[in-house]
C-alpha cells in the first residue's frame, strides 16, 4: 500500500498539536486519517476549521482513550489502522501536582489501551508525544537524547517517563512493531492562517496563551513565576518551538517508521529550536510583533518548574531530516493572530 493510503489514527486530534499535525499530514498527502478525542481540553469545532484550511473533512470519533472498552471498540470499527500518533493526555504541570491520581490514570491508561487494543488489531507503528520535562532539572545544556534524566519535577513529567519506558518495553516484546517518542520542548504559536491554535478550556498555564489572553483582555494580569533564578535576567529559560514545526516532525517520523517496514525499532528524538529564551525575552518578542503590552507581575517561583532547558536537536536533523524553521517572532505573531481570530469569531 502507498504510504499516503495507510490509515493513521490520531488520538487527541482536536487538540492543539494534534490539529496542526492533521493539517501537516493532509498537506503531505495522507488520505486516510481517523482522529479521536474526548474533548476534555478541546472542541469538535477544530475539525471544521481544519476543513476550512485544507478543504478536507477529517474522519473523527468521540472516544476516551483511557477507557479500555471504547478503545477496543474503536479498533474494531477501523480495522485498517496501521499507525498511530498518540497525543491524548492531560498536560498541565500544576494540575498534575494537585491531582496526580488523575494524571497517572488518564495518561498511562490511554497509552496502554492504544498499544494493547491497537496491536491486537493491526497497529504496527506508534509515535508517542513525550516532553522535555522527562529530563528534569538538568544542569548540562543543551540537552541531547543521551542526557541522563534527573528526577521528574511533576507527576505530569513522570507520566511521560513511564510512557517512554512502556513503549520501549512494548517494542522489545514484539517482532514487528516500531515506534518513536518525540520529546517536545515548548510548542507555541499557531497555524499561519490564524484559524487554529491553542485553546485551553480553562485558564491556561503555558506562557504564550497567558500572554495573548492578557493582551486581549481575557485575563487582567499574569504572573511571571520567579525572577531570582540563576539565568541572564532571573526568569526561567525555555526552548520555544513553533507548533507547525512540531507538526511537520510527526510527518517525518511517520515516514521513517513506514520506510522501516516490519523492522523492530524504537528511538527518541528531541524536538526543539535549540535556542534558550527567557520568559522576559518571550514577553518582549510578543510586545514587538503585536504592538500590545500585556500587564504582568513578578510572583514567587512555582512548584514543578525547571530552571533552564533547551535542546540539542541534531539527532532529529540527522535521523528525521527535520529542523525547526520558524522564528520566535513568527511564533508570537501567529499566536496573536489566533487570539484575534478567537475574538472575532466568539471562540
Q: Is 156 an active-site residue?
A: yes
Smaller CB separation from ligand NAD, 264 or 302 = 302
Residues 30-49 that bind ligand NAD (CB under 6 A): 37-42
Pick from 145, 125, 121: nearest CA to 135: 145
Q: Taking the CA of residue 14 as centre, how many other CA atoms within 13 Å lie in the half-sphere pointing to its CB?
A: 24
Of 156, 229, 258, 266, the active-site residue reads 156
Pick from 30, 12, 11: nearest CA to 251: 30
Q: Quote the least distance from Cβ 272 to ligand NAD, whole Å.
A: 10
Smaller CB separation from ligand NAD, 215 or 309 = 309
**Beta strands at 277-278 and 237-238: parallel, antiparallel or unpaired:** antiparallel
Stretch that binds ligand NAD, among 27-35, 61-69, 256-264, 304-312 (CB under 6 A): 61-69
Dihedral angle, C-alpha 19, 22, 26, 31, nearest 10 °:
-130
Q: Quote the least distance from Cβ 137 to ligand NAD, whole Å.
A: 16
Separation between Cα atoms, residue 139 and residue 39, nearest integer Å: 37
Are residues 204 and 213 in contact, defined by beta-carbon separation less than 8 angstroms?
Answer: yes
Q: Which residues face 7 on adjacent strands?
A: 32, 81
Residues 3-32 that bind ligand NAD (CB under 6 A): 12, 14-18
Q: Quote the least distance from Cβ 162 to ligand NAD, whole Å.
A: 12
Smaller CB separation from ligand NAD, 91 or 337 = 91
Q: Which of 75, 103, 184, 222 binds ligand NAD (CB under 6 A)?
A: 184
Name the region of 196 (left: φ>0; alpha: ψ -120 to 50; beta: rest). beta
Burial of 44 (0-12, 13-18, 19+ CB in 10 A): exposed
Smaller CB separation from ligand NAD, 27 or 102 = 102
Backbone angles phi, psi at 87, to 5 degrees: -95, -25
Smaller CB separation from ligand NAD, 186 or 313 = 186
How many residues contact ligand NAD, by CB under 6 A?
Answer: 28
Residues 102-121 that bind ligand NAD (CB under 6 A): 106, 110
Separation between Cα atoms, residue 141 and residue 310, nearest integer Å: 7
Residues 78-97 that bind ligand NAD (CB under 6 A): 87-91
Smaller CB separation from ligand NAD, 30 or 87 = 87
Binding mask 188-217 for ligand NAD (x = CB under 6 A): ------------------x-----------
Task: For residue 217, give the C-alpha cell.
Answer: 483582555
Residues 253-312 that bind ligand NAD (CB under 6 A): none
Q: Quote the least distance from Cβ 261 to ligand NAD, whole Å.
A: 27
Pick from 184, 222, 198: nearest CA to 335: 198
DSSP 303-327: TT--SB--B--HHHHHHH-------
What residues are labeled active site?
156
Residues lying near ligand NAD in the complex (CB under 6 A) are found at 12, 14-18, 37-42, 64-66, 87-91, 106, 110, 129, 131, 184, 186-187, 206
Amino acid at each position: 500500500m502507498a504510504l499516503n493510503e495507510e490509515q493513521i489514527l490520531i488520538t487527541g486530534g482536536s487538540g492543539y498539536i494534534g490539529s496542526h499535525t492533521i493539517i501537516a499530514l493532509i498537506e503531505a498527502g495522507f488520505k486516510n486519517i481517523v482522529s479521536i478525542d474526548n474533548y476534555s481540553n478541546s472542541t469538535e469545532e477544530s475539525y471544521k476549521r481544519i476543513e476550512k484550511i485544507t478543504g478536507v473533512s477529517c474522519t473523527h470519533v468521540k472516544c476516551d482513550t483511557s477507557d479500555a472498552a471504547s478503545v477496543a471498540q474503536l479498533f474494531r470499527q477501523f480495522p485498517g489502522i496501521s499507525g498511530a500518533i498518540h497525543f491524548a493526555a492531560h498536560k498541565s504541570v500544576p494540575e498534575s501536582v494537585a491531582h496526580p491520581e488523575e494524571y497517572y490514570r488518564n495518561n498511562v491508561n490511554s497509552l496502554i489501551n492504544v498499544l494493547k487494543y491497537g496491536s491486537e488489531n493491526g497497529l504496527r507503528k506508534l509515535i508517542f508525544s513525550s516532553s522535555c520535562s522527562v529530563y528534569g532539572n538538568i544542569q548540562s545544556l543543551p540537552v541531547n537524547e543521551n542526557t541522563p534524566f534527573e528526577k521528574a519535577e511533576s507527576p505530569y513529567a513522570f507520566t511521560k517517563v513511564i510512557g517512554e519506558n512502556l513503549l520501549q518495553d512494548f517494542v522489545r516484546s514484539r517482532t514487528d512493531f516500531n515506534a518513536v517518542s518525540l520529546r517536545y520542548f515548548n510548542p507555541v504559536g499557531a497555524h499561519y492562517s490564524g484559524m487554529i491554535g491553542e485553546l485551553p478550556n480553562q485558564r491556561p498555564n503555558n506562557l504564550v496563551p497567558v500572554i495573548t489572553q492578557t493582551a486581549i483582555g481575557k485575563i487582567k494580569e499574569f504572573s511571571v513565576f520567579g525572577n531570582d533564578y540563576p539565568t541572564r535576567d532571573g526568569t526561567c529559560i525555555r526552548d520555544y518551538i513553533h507548533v507547525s514545526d512540531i507538526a511537520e516532525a510527526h510527518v517525518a517520523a511517520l515516514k521513517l517508521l513506514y520506510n522501516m517496514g516490519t523492522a523492530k525499532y524504537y528511538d527518541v528524538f528531541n524536538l526543539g529550536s535549540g535556542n534558550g529564551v527567557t520568559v522576559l525575552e518571550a514577553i518582549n518578542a510578543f510586545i514587538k510583533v503585536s504592538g500590545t503590552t500585556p500587564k504582568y507581575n513578578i510572583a514567587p517561583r512555582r512548584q514543578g518548574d525547571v530552571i533552564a532547558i533547551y535542546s540539542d536537536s541534531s539527532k532529529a536533523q540527522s535521523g528525521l531530516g527535520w529542523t525547526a524553521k520558524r522564528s520566535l517572532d513568527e511564533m508570537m505573531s501567529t499566536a496573536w493572530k489566533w487570539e484575534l481570530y478567537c475574538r472575532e469569531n466568539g471562540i
